Amino acid sequence: MTILIASATFISTLLGGLFALRFKDRLHLILGFSAGAVIGVAFFDLIPEAIGLGAKYFSVSGIMTVVAIGFVVYMIIDRSVVLHRHAHEEDEGEASVGRGLLGAGSLVTHSFFDGLAIGLALAPVLGVTATLFFTLPESVLGLVLALFSGFFLYLGASDLLPESHHAHPTIWTTFVTILGVGVLYVAIHLAGI
């Protein structure tokens, strides 16, 4: 059953990517929704779970410090990718590819750890499979989730949100961003029932 749920998550993620490719002309709306969803996941799922798992071992302030560290570390990594552009590059083509790979790599790594953390609920295939061989202690898992919360907050607020508003009307992109936060809020709370 676990592998079946993980496979369904993999397929839905793949379909989401194909949807974004199909509707490139509405990419700003997709990015706005994605920004809201990523930020919603951080606030409504990852941070509460990090606190829930780590509170036995660390203070809430300590866990939130790890969230802030994740934000700052991701910012430094993100900015170092952009700084390594060659001076003769007129456009941001290579930098955009590097930042895209950084963002995608972060989401893939998070999905792996999410599979380790959650197991049965919305777990990606590799994470679930890895739990057959090893597990992380709750204290470490809480800190890993806190770190990824910081990554997600940076990714949503610094990359996805500004890109969704770039050269597009902000009324609709703002609406879909709020919709993304709301959808994740409802989904996470319904999953907790």
Q: Mapping DSSP to helix (H, G, I), strand (E, B) and coil, where does residue 109 land?
A: helix
Each domain of the chain, given as residue ranges in start order, spans 2-22+49-156
Q: What is the DSSP string of 123-186?
A: --HHHHHHTTT----HHHHHHHHHHHHHHHHHIIIIIIHHHHHTTS-HHHHHHHHHHHHHHHHH
Which pLDDT tens digit goes with each residue over 106-144? Answer: 555 555 555 444 443 364 555 666 666 767 788 898 999
Distance in angstroms (rounded) separating the CA atoms of residues 107 and 169: 27
Which pLDDT tens digit goes with each residue over 11-46? Answer: 766 676 676 667 667 778 888 888 899 899 999 999
Q: Identify the CA nearest to 27 among candidates 121, 122, 166, 179.
A: 166
User: Residue 89 is encoded by which pair of tokens?
Assistant: 């590059």
Distance in angstroms (rounded) separating the CA atoms of residues 22 and 27: 9
Q: Mapping DSSP to helix (H, G, I), strand (E, B) and coil, where does residue 90 land?
A: coil
Sign for the CA dihedral angle at 109, 113, 114, 120 comes to positive
> What's the pTM value of the predicted model, to 2 decimals?
0.69
